């Protein structure tokens, strides 16, 4: 597995968004990659995460993409679940709302919102609340 040496909140967010963008329609559009990078950049700027000081958003997205693509489908699902649990336990209500808003924007970024994206957004919302 090609996990980043140190997994930060920004890495988890990037992984989460990559999973969302890819698993719903089995492809990752360049527009989705750009949207994900922008959202990770926002995360870095908001949190001033000391562990991200030497990385930029694109580095974090690239490391997270390597992590994501190194996993088999079951490992991807397990990692998604683990990251969701981390968010549920460590993020504020506002941060969780921001993630859900970001998912909507990522879904729109390729010009097509499919039912699987809406379903995963609803599932994520329930997982973050429960």
Q: Look at residue 52 in the predicted model and tell me its pLDDT.
A: 55
| Rounded distance between C-alpha atoms, residue 59 and residue 76, angstroms | 20
Q: What is the mean pLDDT of the chain?
A: 89
Percent of the chain with pLDDT over 90: 69
Domain ranges of the chain: 9-129
Among 25, 10, 8, 11, smallest CA distance to 109 is for 25
What's the pTM value of the predicted model, to 2 decimals? 0.89
Q: Look at residue 47 in the predicted model and tell me its pLDDT.
A: 64
Q: Look at residue 37 in the predicted model and tell me its pLDDT.
A: 93
Distances (CA, A) of 38 to 44, 75, 89: 10, 26, 24
Contact by Cβ (8 Å): 23, 71: no
Top CATH class of 9-129 equals: mainly alpha
Write the pLDDT tens digit of every residue in 34-66.
999 999 988 777 765 555 556 688 899 999 999
């Amino acid at each position: 597995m090609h996990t980043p040496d140190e997994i930060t909140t920004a890495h988890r967010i990037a992984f989460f968004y990559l999973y969302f963008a890819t698993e719903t329609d089995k492809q990752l559009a360049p527009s989705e990659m750009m949207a994900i990078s922008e959202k990770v950049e926002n995360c870095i700027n908001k949190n001033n995460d000391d562990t991200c000081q030497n990385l930029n958003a694109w580095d974090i997205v690239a490391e997270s993409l390597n992590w994501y693509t190194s996993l088999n489908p079951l490992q991807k699902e397990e990692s998604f679940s683990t990251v969701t649990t981390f968010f549920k336990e460590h993020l504020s209500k506002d941060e969780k709302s921001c993630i859900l808003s970001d998912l909507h924007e990522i879904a729109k970024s390729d010009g097509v919102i499919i039912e699987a994206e809406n379903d995963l957004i609803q599932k994520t919302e329930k997982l973050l609340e429960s």
